[in-house]
Amino acid sequence: MIDFYYGRKKPEYYKNLLIKADLNLHDQIAVKIHKEIHHGGKVLDLGAGEGALSERLSDLGFHVTAADKDEENFKCKNAVFSRINFDNSEEISKFVEKYEGQFDAVLGVEVIEHVQDQWQYVRQLMKMAKPGGLVLITTPNTTSWYSRWVFFITGRFHQFADADLSYGHINPISAWELHLILKATNAVDVKIVPAGTLPAIYLGGLNRVTLLSLITFPLRPLMKGFVDGWCIMATARKVK
């Protein structure tokens, strides 16, 4: 994580593939997977978008299976693609059954906030991991210093206003609940860390984020939980 950021965030690309995630998040995920999974391991990128993360992990030597609802939008050439409608429970059940116990790592990057039944979703991710395999989940950080201000003013978490419904943000989840769910699946080595880019000092110009960043800084010693990070990243191992 970085403690200072200056400027406005702009869309990022990996090999001309749009990164549909926060600044630096894909880099952080790639570092984690490279560290935790052996070279040539099998990785599932569930909710792959254009395939920027799939392409990055393929370049690192992993065998990637990617899944999303829009095959025409998927542009990664080095991953096996499976089309799946996340709103169709029958399709999801068949997909999970097909790939049960197949992957060294199962990734749910910025997906769980789109899902109605988050407990079932995590169980499905865990089911597709091999014994001892890694499950990695990222989601917006509802307890960041910025989200706390947004909630104080509006009564809604950051990234969960009415406008965010247009891209499917229907279900905020806290680090506490995500940890609870993972433990309930009998996962081991459960870890949650801040991710993406939302540092202590965020100077984005003359706007609300900059103002609230400066107001919040002296209050930080009083704040508990995941104060920084646009997102949180949870990892856990499937019990062997």
Residue 109 located in a structural domain? yes
CATH number at residue 49: 3.40.50.150
Tokens at residue 98, please? 């097909």
The span from the CA of 82 to the CA of 48, in Å, is 10
Q: Which pLDDT band, with edges at 50, 70 and 90, does 6 fall under?
A: confident
Q: What is the value of pTM for the model shown?
A: 0.94
Would residue 151 count as lying in a domain? no
| Residue 205 falls inside a structural domain | no
Name the 3-class secondary structure at 229: coil
Radius of gyration for the alpha carbons in the chain, expressed in angstroms and rounded: 18
pLDDT at residue 4 above 80? no
Considering the domain boundaries, does residue 221 fall inside one?
Answer: no
Structural contact between residues 38 and 104, judged by C-beta atoms closer than 8 angstroms: yes
pLDDT tens-digit map of 158-210: 999 999 999 999 999 999 999 999 999 999 999 999 999 998 888 877 678 88
Range of the domain at 52: 11-142+170-199+226-237
Q: Is residue 43 part of a domain?
A: yes
Domain count, the chain: 1
pLDDT > 80? residue 2: no
Classify residue 120: in a domain, yes or no. Answer: yes
114 inside domain: yes
- The answer to whether residue 37 is domain-embedded is yes
